[in-house]
Structure 1
Amino acid sequence: MKKLVIGVVLAAFLAVAGSAQAATVFKKDNFTYKIGGDWQIQFRKEIGDDEDFDVEYDDLEIKNYAAYKINDNLTAFGELDFGFKNAADKSDEDDGPHLEEAYLGIKFNDFKLMVGETTSAGDEFGVQGTKETVVADDCFDEYGAVDGDDLIKIETEFADMVTVVAAYELEADSEKSHDNGEFFDIFVALDIENFSAGVAFQNMEPYGSDEDYNIWGIQAGYDAGFASFGVDYSATDAEDVFGEDGDVGIFNVAVAVPVEAVTFGAGYVLETFDDDDVDDINGWYFNAIYKFPAAKNVRLFAEIGDTDEDDSEIGYLVGMRIKF
């Protein structure tokens, strides 16, 4: 997910899809083919009651990106990504390789149009300081949709300061379409020197439902040099669909402190419910990420976290990640 990543980047200006980490394996005339990967394996005990340690795969992805430069202003591109997490876990009935993203697009100067299976605008929202979710990420992830398979998506930039992403998921009720329902969302980000901010909105009608609901959120980040700070708040009026009596809100605050090759992070998460019969949930986490100076896309990491839910026990994880 392209979120506001604390300690890594504080503004999510979007490069041509999939190309930021990918390595060029073939280039001739006006054609470019790149391949990338994101492989992560961790030894983890989840937050919860009497959880066991196990080996988890998050993620095992191969990304394929191709582009034709038609002229100086116009580029046609596409991406085809596969995930192997289910195959490694063997924890799902469909435990073979699965499709992560598949889309085609046109880029004209700073404007991009994409159609296919990919992430939505709501996926851009949020402060991401954890390796694994503590309580909840944000309301777009928990109660909305952050991707679609009948998606029409646009991205554009203005004056190297403002990024706009908007997406519409067709209802597409057919045997060839997933049960994603129908939604529209938009994300707008502002980046000025060391400060960034963003707002997001989504209107969602779940598959098989006649009720729609809204999700909205606001976020901000600041890089002070010695540390990076981020905060977000998102809320939804999805009570008619999910049964809660009143709105749901999720608040995140995160800080990251780089010390040479290690980045130390900490954060607090709060999920609130207007329903008096449902208790609010508080969570916290601490982590550390080591990037090898000679190969910064090779990382070792560790994290601990917990919540105040009944019978909750502290969760731990250590792992390794390679990106290319």
Structure 2
Amino acid sequence: MKKTILATMLTSLFAATAAHSATVYEADGVTLDLFGDVEIQANKGTEDDAPKMIHLDDADFGVQAGYVLSDSLSAIAKISVTGEDETGSTNNIDLDEAFVGLSFTQFGTVTIGQQYTIADDIGIANDYAFGINSGYSGVATDGKQVVKYVVDNGNYYFGVSYLLNENAASDDVESIDARLGVRIDALDLTAYLGKADDADASATSVLLEARYSMDNLDLAASVSSLDGYTSAEDSTAFGLAAAYTVDKVTYSGGYSLLDVDGDDDKLNTYFVNAAYAFNSNVTVYAELGGDDADDSELGYGAGMAVTF
């Protein structure tokens, strides 16, 4: 009974890593999982005369653990490290997540520590190198001092996170963001609301996302509004994305339009890609992406991702 309860809790909490984690110990109400991934990418960015480069796009390794405390309560913990090399400089390995929490079978999960915020889940596009613009800005996507609560009962889901300070003990940066979603058959609707404060200025973002799945086709759309730190940052954005899978190949594309108040030029951003999945852990891909900003060029990239 307790193992079943614990497995359900961990699957919900660690949804982002459950697909490629391995349970290395499970006994007496204790579960210990290992997970990781490595992604190497060759690309050329969209900036004018951007250099061609082969770089470490992502490298993660971590451990997550769960301890049954009662029939309805478990203690959880997660720690992971990450390495990226976006600019071609010397690789750095940094602490990515380190948090503890309590997970209740009926009431959801509370975690505290260094972790990703609710805003990190934003995005409708199945992209690898370029992506599109969601328009949701200002709110931190991770931090060292984060308290987060999430609950998901299948039909609806809710989450809220609060970042006390971004890094230092008191750096005048704090944010709060929330998500509310509902699933109706093949339709998934999500609303995000975020507010960030930086010294004496604040920014508020609202984002609506819709996803619809049918057979091998996934469709998505988004619309957002940003009340920025200054009036020059106020904007609205619209996005569309699609992904179609044939056997082991997935073809994806996305487009967004960003309209900044007072700016006569609207920014159009787009990408297309194709990815081949050898299995659930090994994928190779190629992608093209670009925008119509000044001095912008068509970018391209190709890579391989291996998870374990």
TM-score with structure 2 setting the length: 0.89
Give me the identity figure in percent: 26
Question: Separation in 1 of the partners of 2:301 and 2:214?
Answer: 28
1:106 maps to which of 99, 102, 106: 102
Aligned residue in 2 for 1:186: 178
Letter in 1 for 2:241: A
Amino acid at match of 1:270: L
* Separation in structure 2 between the aligned mates of residue 171 and residue 210 of structure 1, nearest angstrom: 14
Q: How far apart, in 1, do the equivalents of 2:122 and 2:269 lie?
A: 20
Q: Give 1:289's aligned residue.
A: 275
Tell me which residue corresponds to 1:165: 159
1:134–1:269 CA contact under 8 A, matched in 2: no
Contact 1:46 1:52 in 2 (8 A): yes
Matched, 1:147 2:139: no
- Alpha-carbon spacing, 1:195–1:143, altered in 2? closer, same or farther (3 Å): same
Q: Structure 2 stretches of 5 or more lacking a match?
A: 1-10
- 1:268 partnered with 2:255: yes
From the superposition, tell whether residues 236 and 220 of structure 1 become closer, same or farther in structure 2 (CA, over 3 Å): same
Q: Which amino acid in structure 2 is aligned with residue 162 of structure 1?
A: Y
Provide the C-alpha distance between the structure 1 equivalents of 2:99 and 2:267, rounded to a whole number of angstroms: 38
1:320 corresponds, among 300, 304, 307, to 304
Question: 2:221 maps to what in 1?
Answer: 231
SS of structure 2 residue aligned to 1:149: strand
Letter in 2 for 1:252: G
Instruction: Look up the match of 2:192.
Output: 200
Structure 1 residues 91 and 176: CA distance shift in structure 2, 3 A: farther
Aligned amino acid, residue 161 of structure 1 = N
Q: What TM-score results when the alignment is normalised by the length of structure 1?
A: 0.85
The alpha carbon displacement at 1:129 in A equals 2.2
**Paired residues of 1:113 and 1:153 also in contact (CA < 8 A):** yes
1:229-260 Cα deviation digits (max 9, x unpaired): 001122211152xx61x621222210111111
Q: What's 1:56 paired with?
A: 55
Counterpart residue number, 1:249? 236
- Residue 99 of structure 1, CA deviation: 0.9
Task: Give the aligned partner of residue 6 of structure 1.
Answer: none
Match of 1:91 in 2: 89
Q: CA deviation at 1:20?
A: 4.0
SS of the equivalent of 1:91 reads coil
Counterparts of residues 27-38 of structure 1 (less than 5 Å): 27-38=26-37
2:120 to 119, 123, 126: 123
Tell me the alpha carbon deviations over residues 175-217 of structure 1, each in whole angstroms, 9 at most, x when there is no partner.
556x4711111001111221101000011102xx212221110
Deviation by residue 1:244-300 (Cα, 9 ceiling, x = unmatched)? 1x6212222101111111000111121111113x521102111001011xx222001
Gaps of 5+ in 1: 1-13
Partners of 1:309 and 1:237 in 2: CA distance: 22
